[in-house]
Chain A
């Protein structure tokens, strides 16, 4: 038992270290910090300018809705990076560094290795979320209302969200054992599913009925809802109806169940795809064109 735990811990620790080296050692720390900030702030500014144009041509201001969009977008950075950080590992090692074969035969847990590699992206994403929110509060009039007694609920929600995302990410990574070099398409497309159907940037009620049904079936929809409920002022939160339950405990329970479900799914899918890839001889294929 102890040896198994040690093996997983060792795999995680060194994979996280490797992930950090890959992420950061291409440049000076100050340049890396700027790089980590520019992307999320630019993404936030796109929404700001969309809102500015809307206020001019729509002839109306709706600060609660702008707050809704901004907070959703800021926390989506966490979602996008955690997903991408997880599902890109296999294809990056296989196609880019061509080291998958060596890592794979080493005495580690490859599943845990993937999670460890993703850990760096999760940390950088958390930093980017913080910067984006701070930027919004300081310069764009974004209102955040997070009291001390709400902090445990906030961190619990973040942890459950991260577990769910890693579970989804590893499941997707497992699928990439068998697919060609599609990381860019996946990087845009998979977060796009959540971007569209989880009410990240607009209330779910804007979607057609079938879209709302899809959104309500995705646990992350409730995660975004909960995060907004915890962080936004109550009057702003109430001003944008979403048609979702507002009981935090109910949402937490749902997230706990979904995190467990995706964890089990990721293990099953990982083993199945790994087996199929080995059988088809695709474990270290390269598909450059």
Chain B
């Protein structure tokens, strides 16, 4: 006689989330050198962008009124860079990487939702990346002397978390698509670095792109799909409210927040749909275990 015990699906999937987040949080800390490589070293690149503005503002006759805000923009952009890089390299590319490592078939056989797997990856990634983001912010305040205006902390937190959820939702969606691209996934991630830093305004107020003309406006419209664009613009509005009379802001904070919430839902739904499609395709074409393609 055999006995079967039904498992609560919610509890099962929560366990899957925790199980996949665990190696990223605990496993990574077994190799503590990652703090130096992933949190401290990248700070140097951000510092370089800070000093570009310092260099510009030392030009004879330059007006330094908004120099603090510009450096603050770079620090916030640097913080967002950490999350974007994590989304690209530890979310979007991850399923492809798992396939190469031979783990993907194990995940597919496990009796859990694939969304729980990606959710766990996202949570673990957020935790790891937050370390780098915090280091960047602390350096911004104590090393570069940036003054942040935190008059509306609740809205700042709301925009920040909406941006994160939308970003990682996008990463979850890309994870499935990257798997279909095979070897191009790595190059796709590499390609989505500088161009996205550019069109999302990681190191300058995004509205500056409008100055390029009709092309600039088209790029702005496309860039709004990337959650980092609107998230950064909203955060900058909240933290540097009087910057240049508001002439460089894209939309109102409320509207940007609303769009971010919509993006959260859209990306999570698309992630679920693309994951289902991927699974069906991979099973039909037998590509789930084929490596180096």
The yes or no verdict on A and B being binding partners is: yes
Q: Hey, which bits of chain A sit against chain B, CB under 8 A?
A: 26-27, 35, 38-40, 42-43, 45-47, 49-54, 56-60, 62, 65, 69, 96-97, 179-180, 182, 184-186, 188-193, 195-196, 200-203, 206-207, 286-289
Q: Is the interface of A mostly helix, strand, loop or mixed?
A: helix
Task: Please tell me the size bucket of the interface on B.
Answer: 35 or more
Return chain B residues, CB-CB under 8 Å to A287: 31
13 additional contacts, CB 8 Å, given A46-B198, A185-B36, A289-B27? A27-B187, A38-B195, A39-B195, A45-B198, A50-B56, A54-B53, A54-B70, A58-B56, A59-B63, A185-B34, A195-B44, A196-B51, A286-B101
The answer to whether A189 and B45 touch (CB under 8 A), given A27-B184, A53-B205, A60-B59, is yes
CB–CB B208/A201 < 8 A? no
- The 9 A-B residue pairs with the shortest CB-CB distance in the complex, in nearest-first order: A189-B41, A202-B55, A185-B37, A192-B44, A192-B45, A182-B37, A62-B59, A195-B48, A42-B194
**Closest Cβ neighbor of A26 among chain B residues:** B183
- 22 example contacts (A-B, Cβ-Cβ < 8 A) are as follows A38-B191, A38-B194, A49-B201, A49-B211, A50-B53, A50-B204, A54-B70, A58-B59, A59-B63, A62-B56, A96-B100, A97-B292, A180-B34, A184-B38, A190-B41, A192-B44, A192-B48, A196-B44, A201-B48, A201-B55, A202-B51, A207-B51
**B36, B85, B190, B204 interface centre (most CB from chain A within 10 Å):** B204
Return chain B residues, CB-CB under 8 Å to A200: 48
Return chain A residues, CB-CB under 8 Å to B43: 192
**Alpha-carbon gap, A288 to B34, bound state (A):** 12
**Alpha-carbon gap, A185 to B61, bound state (A):** 38
**Closest Cβ neighbor of B31 among chain A residues:** A180
CB–CB A53/B47 < 8 A? no
Return chain A residues, CB-CB under 8 Å to B47: 192, 196
CB–CB A39/B190 < 8 A? yes
CB–CB B209/A49 < 8 A? yes
CB–CB B57/A289 < 8 A? no
**Alpha-carbon gap, A179 to B38, bound state (A):** 13
Return chain B residues, CB-CB under 8 Å to A42: 194-195, 197-198
Interchain nearest-CB distance for A108 vs B (Å): 21
Mark B181-207 against chain A: 1 for CB-CB distance below 8 A, else 0. Answer: 001100100110111011001111100
Interchain nearest-CB distance for B289 vs A (Å): 15
Q: Is the interface of B mostly helix, strand, loop or mixed?
A: helix
CB–CB B45/A53 < 8 A? no
**Alpha-carbon gap, A43 to B191, bound state (A):** 11
**Closest Cβ neighbor of A38 among chain B residues:** B195
Return chain B residues, CB-CB under 8 Å to A195: 44-45, 48
Return chain B residues, CB-CB under 8 Å to A54: 53, 56-57, 62, 70
CB–CB B52/A58 < 8 A? no
CB–CB B59/A47 < 8 A? no
Mark B94-117 against chain A: 1 for CB-CB distance below 8 A, else 0. Answer: 000100110000000000000000
Return chain A residues, CB-CB under 8 Å to B2: none
Interchain nearest-CB distance for B45 vs A (Å): 4
**Alpha-carbon gap, A62 to B85, bound state (A):** 33
CB–CB A43/B194 < 8 A? yes
Return chain A residues, CB-CB under 8 Å to B28: 289
Interchain nearest-CB distance for B241 vs A (Å): 15
Contact with B203, one of A50, A286, A289 (Cβ below 8 angstroms): A50
Interchain nearest-CB distance for B20 vs A (Å): 10
Q: Say yes or no for B279: interface residue by CB 8 A criterion.
A: no
**Closest Cβ neighbor of B209 among chain A residues:** A49
Return chain A residues, CB-CB under 8 Å to B45: 188-189, 191-192, 195-196
The answer to whether A57 and B244 touch (CB under 8 A), given A52-B208, A182-B33, A192-B42, is yes
Return chain A residues, CB-CB under 8 Å to B58: 206
CB–CB A201/B44 < 8 A? no
**Alpha-carbon gap, A46 to B194, bound state (A):** 8
Q: Say yes or no for B248: interface residue by CB 8 A criterion.
A: yes
Return chain B residues, CB-CB under 8 Å to A185: 34, 36-38, 41-42
